Amino acid sequence: MTRHHTLRIAYYALLITLLSACASPTPTPQSFAPFILITQDPNASPTSTPFQPSGGVNTALPTFTQVPSATATSTITLTPPPTLTFTPPPPPTVGSVPPTSPPPSTSSRANYILYSTLDFTGKTITTDQTIRYYNGTGVALSEIVFSVQPNRYGNTFALNSISQDGTALTSYSLSGQRMTVSLPISLQPNTATTFALNFKLNIPQKSADGVFGYDFNQINLVDWYPFIVPYQGGWVLYDPMPWGEHLVYDSSDIELNIKKDSDVVIAAGATPDQNGEWIRYRMYGARTFALSASNEFLVSESTVGNVVIRSYYFNGYKTGGEGILSLGTQAIETFSEQYAPYPHQSLAIVQSDMHDGMEYDGLVFLASDFYGQYTGGSRGNLATIGVHEIAHQWWYGMVGNDHALEPWLDEALATYSERIFYENNYPANISWWWQFRVDYFDPSGYVDTSIYNGGSFRLYTNAVYLNGAHFLDELRERMGHGNFSKFLKEYARRYSHGHATSADFFALMRETVNVDISDLLDKYFSGSY
């Protein structure tokens, strides 16, 4: 996620926002297995990176044809740094299912199915949700902890009912973002249970620099439904901070069925199909399901192999809307070749009235200011930040990590992926990129800074994102470009749909090539790896 360095200090002094800022590039078509439907039709919630004011020379991009389109705040109180401690789990196991393969019918991933009715005019959404949760923790669980991010906003979240395996639950507590459900009978290891919830959101007005909520012509729903947080020797749910994402997600299979008004267009990270009277979206191996709705979206689209890239923008921003579509198409192609096949069927790139960008599975938001500044080409904030957020589809979406305590694992990699994008598509812009995105800010600080010891937005982003990019560049030179590329591909494969740690990162690096980097670790890291 990205934030304007000239505006950040003022906004963060007043507000705390809801943040969550080796294959061919033409992979074979995906064939998905049917969802395990827990119930039939019931009918009944970013890390920032600094950017500069627009400017610089642009290079030309191909054009795209517009396709048919639609006709035309809450206050959060900052809590103290977290007190949660837990024992680190064993390293994640190698993913058994390639991104392009269907998930097994006996998948141990949590399975979320939602039936939602969106009242765009009334700014509400009512949902019946079922969750099949498999206890792969290795211990008996006497309680389950849910993240309920909408409950951080006053009068937004209303839980009407909750049950387990058909029996109503009455022993639960909901306070702030945390809902703890006491189980009548402990859930034993390697067994599954099903929760059913009915809830309603009174969608709040979006804060000026936030993502979640409604604006005058748009509703953004991010981290909007209750989800079960990871268990790693304890339930992992951290306190929010003004900068950086505090949420950690397991990989899950998600199906959203939604009803809406006919003139409302939904932007989501999956291609819709019809499920009776419902519009259905399915995502496999996703961290979360975000969407944006508007009755004023214009839409342009492109394809890379079987992946559809759609750009959702507003009237007057066609140049930016089609420009980021082209850049996004190139990014999907580049990163699919450099890292791993893109893990979803589609990518939605969505304009929104915010100050930055933010990533979710199969969907990224970008600031309207970026679109307004854009005059074409491959330079500027729309290009760099757009590519950064798309890179998070691999470093956050595919390979998970602890965004609160080890944010460099996704943010430094996403930032350095911008450099990899330029060297593969616009090599003449590499020097420009270093100055525009990184060295302009004279970055310093330890790369392994957490969101809680960063000190300030500027110090945090300089250390994690920008010094992180310098570290990865020096690591690449030390390892050799070929070994570095081999390392990233294996990193994406080995930890796909899992969680990686800093220790995992460096262990695999040393497994790839036996080279001494002790001086780099002393220079860039506070911890020992």
The Cβ-side half-sphere exposure at 337, using a 13 Å CA radius, reads 13
Determine the number of helices (DSSP H) and then strands (DSSP E) in the chain.
11, 24
Q: Indicate the domain borders of the chain.
A: 2-524
Mean pLDDT of 480-493: 98
Fold classified for 2-524: Neutral Protease; domain 2 (1.10.390)
pLDDT of residue 84: 31
pLDDT attached to residue 102? 38
Q: How far apart are CA 25 and CA 338, in angstroms?
A: 9
Confidence band for 207, pLDDT divided at 50, 70 and 90? very high
**Per-residue burial over 482-519, b = 16 or more CB atoms within 10 Å of its CB, e = otherwise:** eebbebbbbbbbbbbbbbbbbebbbebbeebeeeebee
Quote the CA–CA distance of 171 and 335 in Å, as a whole number: 46
The string over 326-357, giving b where at least 16 C-beta atoms fall within 10 Å of a residue's C-beta and e elsewhere, is bbbbbbbbbbbbbbbbbbbbbbbbbbbbbbbb
Q: Residue 144 CB: number of other CB atoms within 10 A? A: 23
> What is the reported pLDDT for 308?
98
d(CA 118, CA 486): 45
- State the SS3 of 472-502: HHHHHHHHCHHHHHHHHHHHHHHCCCCECCH
Q: Residue 301 has what pLDDT?
A: 97
Give all strands of the β-sheet with 356-360 in edge-to-edge order. 50-51, 2-4, 356-360, 363-367, 346-352, 307-313, 298-304, 66-67
Q: Which residue has the higher pLDDT, 112 or 21?
A: 112
pLDDT digits (tens, 9 = 90+) for 434-464: 999 999 999 999 999 999 999 999 999 999 9
CB atoms within 10 A of CB 38: 16
Across residues 386-395, what is the average pLDDT? 98
Looking at residue 27, the DSSP 8-state letter turns out to be P
pTM given for the model: 0.83
What is the C-alpha separation between 523 and 345, in angstroms, rounded? 41
Q: Give the separation between CA 412 and CA 398, rounded to whole angstroms.
A: 15
